[in-house]
């Protein structure tokens, strides 16, 4: 069990840290005829992108964009995509843009990151035009116009690929499911106001937090039994007290370690503001003794050690 002497608004903050690892990342801007179709395109593109364990990438809608924030003056969404290697990111981005954005009514796609290493957007998708596609240079940037049945699909040639950080996390320990969900939803709402981050799991929340390894050789990850209430009396690894009946995890990916730290801080402050009376009584984080990744986000340092109540 960790030392739990830091208490803020009745909520215990573990003397622990989240352990994160390097990833490759990009941002794209998807626009459409109206905000509804932009959201549909972004949601479809980021489907089945919760964890690199099985999905190939981690992705999410960073935020919605007003017409004055997009290259073509239409409503849009900013999407962040993370993968473990440049090769994986190139493959995932190409597949998802081709199957989910090109196919979606009225959409266009543009670079969301200037600089970094160029990664293809329209550069490869132009071949769908079967020779009818045309390109245009505007202010030194190449765009492709591909004929489709509702008009034209416009895609910028490339976007930027940069180094990112994946795996920041918070574990929210609560008295019951309702309390844990409320805390997680408040944390995610606060984190979504932080730029350059996404929470890739459903609604930003994961109930099946994992540990590295398994008793079964074929499995690379398995249930985090130390935080499973149903195993509290069965496993020697339990980190739960008898009053904790539900744990939710929020996982954060960001373009920099500062972005991830800012999101974690915002999430914790949102939970702390609700107070222990709302049912979440403790905040912890998942790590593997510092062996998994070089980025360590110490919870108490993020809040400031002087934040004791």
Q: Is the confidence at residue 35, as pLDDT, over 60?
A: yes
Tokens representing residue 156 in the block: 């910028």
**Residue 297 near residue 256 (C-beta atoms within 8 A):** no
Grade residue 305 by pLDDT with cuts at 50, 70 and 90. Answer: low
258 occurs within a structural domain? yes
Domain co-membership, 83 together with 95: yes
Exposed/middle/buried for residue 142 (C-beta within 10 Å: 0-12, 13-18, 19+): middle
Domain co-membership, 31 together with 77: yes
Q: Is the confidence at residue 309, as pLDDT, over 80?
A: no
End-of-domain residue from the set 144, 162, 180: 162
Quote the domain boundaries for residue 231: 6-20+164-307
The whole-number pLDDT of residue 306 equals 45
Domain co-membership, 212 together with 169: yes
End-of-domain residue from the set 162, 188, 207: 162
Mean pLDDT of 119-123: 96
Count of structural domains within the chain: 2
Domain co-membership, 291 together with 168: yes
Domain co-membership, 131 together with 209: no
Task: Count how many residues are written for the chain.
Answer: 309
* Per-residue pLDDT tens digits for 273-284: 999 999 999 999
84 occurs within a structural domain? yes
Q: Is the confidence at residue 21, as pLDDT, over 70?
A: yes
The whole-number pLDDT of residue 1 equals 45
Listed in order, strand segments (DSSP E) in the chain are 6-8, 11-13, 17-31, 58-65, 76-83, 108-111, 117-120, 134-138, 141-148, 151-156, 158-174, 197-198, 205-206, 210-212, 221-223, 246-254, 280-284, 295-298
CA distances from 285 to 14, 59, 219 (A): 8, 21, 22
Contacts of residue 296, defined as CB under 8 A and 6 or more positions apart, other chains included, come to 17, 18, 19, 20, 287, 290
* Per-residue pLDDT tens digits for 130-156: 999 999 999 999 999 999 999 999 999
> In percent, how much of the chain has pLDDT > 70?
97
Chain position carrying tokens 């496993």 = 235
* Per-residue pLDDT tens digits for 164-215: 999 999 999 999 999 999 999 999 999 999 999 999 999 999 999 998 889 9
Grade residue 83 by pLDDT with cuts at 50, 70 and 90. Answer: very high
> Global pTM?
0.94
């Amino acid at each position: 069990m960790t030392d739990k002497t830091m208490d803020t608004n009745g909520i215990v903050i573990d003397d622990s840290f989240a352990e994160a690892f390097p990833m490759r990342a990009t941002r794209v801007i998807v626009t459409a005829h109206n905000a509804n179709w932009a959201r549909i395109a972004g949601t479809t593109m980021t489907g089945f992108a919760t964890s690199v364990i099985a999905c190939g990438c981690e992705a999410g809608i960073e935020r919605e964009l007003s017409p004055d924030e997009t290259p073509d003056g239409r409503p849009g969404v900013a999407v962040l995509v993370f993968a473990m290697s440049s090769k994986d990111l190139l493959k995932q981005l190409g597949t998802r843009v081709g199957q989910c954005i090109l196919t979606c009514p009225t959409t266009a796609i543009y670079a969301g990151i200037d600089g970094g290493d160029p990664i293809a957007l329209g550069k490869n998708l132009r071949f769908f035009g079967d020779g009818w596609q045309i390109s245009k240079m505007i202010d030194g940037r190449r765009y492709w116009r591909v004929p489709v049945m509702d008009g034209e699909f416009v895609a910028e040639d490339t976007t930027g690929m940069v180094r990112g950080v994946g795996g920041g996390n918070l574990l929210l320990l609560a008295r019951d499911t309702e309390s844990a969900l409320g805390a997680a939803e408040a944390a995610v709402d606060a984190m979504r106001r932080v730029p350059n981050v996404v929470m890739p799991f459903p609604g930003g929340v994961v109930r099946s937090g994992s540990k590295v390894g398994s008793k079964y050789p074929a499995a690379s990850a398995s249930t985090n039994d130390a935080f499973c209430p149903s195993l509290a009396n069965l496993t020697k690894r339990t980190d739960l007290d008898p009053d904790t009946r539900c744990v939710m995890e929020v996982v954060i990916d960001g373009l920099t370690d500062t972005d991830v730290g800012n999101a974690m801080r915002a999430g914790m402050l949102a939970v702390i503001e609700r107070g222990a009376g709302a049912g979440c009584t403790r905040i912890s984080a998942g790590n593997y003794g510092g062996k998994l990744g070089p980025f360590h986000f110490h919870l108490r340092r993020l809040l400031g050690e002087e934040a004791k109540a």
